[in-house]
A = this chain, B = another copy of it.
Amino acid sequence: MNSYCLATYRCYDEKADFHKKALGIAVGLTVGSWTELPEAQKAQMEKHLGKVISVEVHEPASSDSALERYADIQIAYPDVNYSRDIPALLVTVFGKLSMDGKIKLIDLSFSSDFLSGFPGPKFGMKGVRDLLGVHDRPLLMSIFKSVVGYELPALREQFYLQAAGGVDLIKDDEILFENPLTPLEKRIEVCMEAAAQASKETGQKLLYAVNLTGPTFQLAEQAKKAIRAGANALLFNVLAYGFDVLHALSSDPEITIPIMAHPAMAGAVYPSPHYGMSASVLLGKLMRLAGADIVLFPSPYGSVVMPREENLAIKHALLTEDLRKDYLYGESSIEPRLAASFPVPSAGIHPGLVPLILRDFGGDVIVNAGGGIHGHPMGTIAGGQAFRQAIDATLKDQSLRDYASTHPELQKAIDTWGIKE
């Protein structure tokens, strides 16, 4: 029996016949030609033919010339046409078509059959919580302030100060590559040492996501080298390497630590209304499908802004959405539900935003800050503590202002950055 993956496009055109366009996509990106085929051949080719599922045309009210005419077109692509890998699916549904005028891939769903090739996140949200032993609150992550050009002692000091403030995760800067000042193995050694020192004081565990970089074909070996050196998490610039590489790394049984996906370069693809892919596909569904345990994406709060509804769509794709949508089927006997990826809305976060983040994301979120920790007037340790206090206050349903009256670090953070509700 045939199975299909589903792609939804938003196409803009002032006067196109969108139904004809949809048919052109369904035929052109599968069997190539249809109406002129002999009947006998049609029977044989039917299972390779794409199907138009829906065409929703949005005509602008004639009074408002600023609105554009567009249609949302959903096409079902037969799984029999492509292999069970992300490049094959993406080239099929948005290879040539990506260059065909104003068109954006706004949704993508996978059949049970296609999904069966993807184990998904090895740890996922629950696995990351298990590693840290924290199940009752949002996690806190911090980012190094400056790393390029710094030597090991300076890096170790920065690491310790972050860890001592009570953060759960620390990530490398995504622009820190293999370099003579802080080479991978040495960096892991001194940072894990600093983590152990802080742990004695805080009683907490900590994950350090070290940046996995270098030539593609050496990444798996590089990851294993990091693990041998003591790394307990990896940071990975997925879009610079491709989703299939993340899939290969996440499903490698010898890579036994969580992978954190960085969204570097994503802004080349998601923000245009007319081109590219929606953020929920790019940073949501595909990241989870490819097995990211933790996914960073631009928050709706800070300097690098993404609209709130797009953010919540990413969250939904990472946490709760069933990526499987079987066309022509009822319930499948297979249950290929993937583990949830931990969402990390990032950029511009300070303690005064914590109640808002928790309202938008619930408890299953990693609060992530850089400047909001290092820039604390009382120092980096106080910066981490202020965030932990903001999280505690919010979970206890207390206002930040009240809680701050007995927590000077939070008070100072509020004095500096304010509260946004």
Show the binding face of A for B, using Cβ within 8 Å. 29-33, 44-45, 47-48, 80-83, 85-88, 90-92, 94-100, 102-103, 105, 145-149, 173-175, 177-179, 213-217, 220, 237, 240-242, 244-245, 248, 262-269, 271-272, 274-277, 298, 303-304, 306
B268 touches A269 (CB 8 A): yes
Given A32-B145, A32-B148, A100-B303, 8 more pairs with CB closer than 8 A: A29-B175, A91-B237, A95-B264, A99-B298, A216-B248, A217-B248, A268-B269, A272-B275
The smallest C-beta distance from A280 to any residue of chain B, in angstroms, reads 15
B264 in contact with A149 (CB, 8 Å): no
A12 to chain B, nearest CB (A): 12
Query: Which chain B residues border A87 with CB–CB below 8 Å?
Result: 213, 216, 237, 240-241
Closest 4 CB pairs of A and B: A95-B264, A98-B267, A32-B146, A99-B267
Closest chain B residue to A95, Cβ basis: B264
Closest to A245 in B: B216
| Cα separation A274 to B99 with both chains bound (whole Å) | 16
Let me know if A215 and B268 touch, CB within 8 A: no
CB of A213, distance to nearest CB on chain B (Å): 6
A66 to chain B, nearest CB (A): 12
Give the complex CA separation of A149 and B275 in angstroms. Answer: 30
Chain B residues whose C-beta falls within 8 Å of the C-beta of A80 in the assembled complex: 179
Q: How many chain copies? A: 2
**In the complex, are the beta carbons of A31 and B148 less than 8 A apart?**
yes
A41 to chain B, nearest CB (A): 9
Complex A-B: 16 CB contacts under 8 Å = A29-B175, A81-B177, A82-B175, A82-B177, A87-B240, A88-B177, A90-B240, A91-B240, A96-B175, A98-B265, A98-B267, A99-B306, A216-B242, A241-B244, A242-B245, A268-B276
- CB-contact partner of A248 in B215, B237, B276, under 8 A: B215
Contact of A178 among B83, B90, B215, B263 (CB under 8 A): B83
Give the distance to chain B from A8, nearest Cβ to Cβ, in Å.
Answer: 15
Give bound CA distance, A178 to B178, whole Å.
36
Chain B residue nearest to A220 (CB atoms) is B217
How distant is the Cα of A242 from the Cα of B31 in the complex, in angstroms?
A: 27
Q: How far is the CA of A146 from the CA of B35 in the complex (A)?
A: 13
Q: Which residue of B29, B96, B173 contacts A304 across the interface (Cβ within 8 Å)?
A: B96
* Least Cβ–Cβ distance between A75 and chain B, in angstroms: 13
On chain B, the residues within 8 Å of A94 by CB distance are: 265, 267-268
Which of B95, B145, B177 is in CB contact (< 8 Å) with A33?
B145
| Residues in B whose Cβ lies below 8 Å from that of A32 | 145-148, 173
Given contacts A244-B216, A274-B272, is CB(A174)–CB(B96) below 8 Å? yes
Report how far A319 CA is from B5 CA in the complex, Å.
39
Q: Is the CB of B244 within 8 A of A215?
A: yes
Q: Separation in Å of the A181 CB from the closest CB of chain B?
A: 9
Given the contacts A83-B177, A177-B88, A216-B244, A276 and B269 also touching, CB distance less than 8 Å = yes
A240–B85 Cα distance when bound, in Å, is 11
Q: Measured between alpha carbons, how far is A110 from B248 in the docked complex, in Å?
A: 30
| Given contacts A216-B245, A240-B91, A264 and B98 within 8 Å (CB-CB) | yes
Residues of B within 8 A of A244 (CB): 215-216, 240-241
Chain B residue at minimal CB-CB distance from A92: B175
Task: Tell me if B237 and A95 are in contact (CB < 8 A).
Answer: yes
Residues from chain B with Cβ under 8 Å of A220 in the complex = 217
On whether the beta carbons of B105 and A268 are closer than 8 Å, the reply is yes
Q: In the bound complex, how far is the Cα of B44 from the Cα of A149, in angstroms? A: 8
Which chain B residues border A82 with CB–CB below 8 Å? 175, 177
**Bound: A237/B92 CA distance, A:** 11
Please indicate the chain B residues that have their CB under 8 angstroms from the CB of A241 in the complex: 87, 242, 244
